[in-house]
Structure 1
Amino acid sequence: MHTLVSYPGDAIFIKTKKGHDEIAQRQFGLNIRQRRVLIIADGTKNISAIREVIPKDELEEIISFLAEQGFIAPGENHARKAPATRAEKIVVLESIKNERSVAARHVSFPHSQKRSESSHADEPALLPDAEKIRQVKDFMTTTATTYLGLLGADVIHRIERAKGAAQLMIVVGHWHMALQESKQGNRFAAPYLEQVTAALTGKGEQLEARQA
């Protein structure tokens, strides 16, 4: 049982070595939402920004756990307090929706169906265009090969296995995380994420890999 700590909205956290190791190796058994918060805790977003994609009560629980277990640590107060980007919100929403979908296969919630439908009303519609999805897959595979090398094999396997835009959007989180943690690809991770999410939601056409 860990201690629940309430942090101010302007508090900023960064990954520790243990946090970076968990991102790379997945050895401590974090659940999906814990991993999402760990990914977002990059020293540029304060608690208020992260609340845009994770509910306040749940976020306090996760932040307290990650800090107590040594995955994250308080960052500098003067760090840039960037809001969560639209692309990051989409990836987190799709991950949470996928988690709910898996749970729904085992448990029925008839009384909450209407509420659930309403809660998803503002979520972005994903593109059903098979050709565009293939283009996105090719782009993700190319960038993974370029910046991750042999370490990108698992990511590429996930990309190719994805069936449809919804499954591919879940993989986008893993791909983006891997680019963030790579030496050469981290500076391109954010713009690539914007391009891919825009393409999968029909908001963008061009997918352009940049020079390393």
Structure 2
Amino acid sequence: MVSIRVNTLQHIYSKTPLGQQAIASRSIPMLASERRVLILIDGERNIAELYQQLNHHDVLALVDQLQAKGLIRRIGGEDASPLVISAATPSQPSPAPSATRLPVPTPPPPALGQSAAIALDEATLHAVKSLMISSSQQGLGLMAARLVREIEDIRDAQTLKATMARWNMALRESRSAAAQADQLLQTAKALLPMAA
């Protein structure tokens, strides 16, 4: 099973010369969501900070797309392979004819009921809780207050598991977030590294 390690959230990226040109001249076609991520990538913010600033559950996939197009590079790391395998559904194909992207197979995330142990640390827990809180506030509005308090109180894997189930159900029952509920759950699960 492929999982996103906690240190992935600490990765920092900077724009390549091609990425700087894409921002300055809009010469490279890209999705609006890709452009927002590219603008925020500055060589100082890590992936976890991008999650918080963009409030977008697909940040990892967008960073992967920008890296594949040669618009960004990882600072202090090797860029030989894509950043992650996203658990989210694929974005619209880029209109750039020169950008060739190979499809990345995505294994289904483990169900919440599976017995695999979740290894939690502060960075992972913070990233998952941030995703859950921001999506609750956006999708549930004022009705999110109680759920947000519950999410903020998560301290261990057992509480996280139970709260993730309630969070997903609340999103599914919301008119504005129902369509994204499963994708958000998959993204949250992908942030959780599984213990060996």
TM-score tier after normalising by the smaller chain length: 0.3 to 0.5
Q: Which has the higher helix share?
A: 1
Higher RCO (C-alpha under 8 Å, 6+ residues apart): 2
Q: Give TM-score scaled by structure 1 length.
A: 0.38
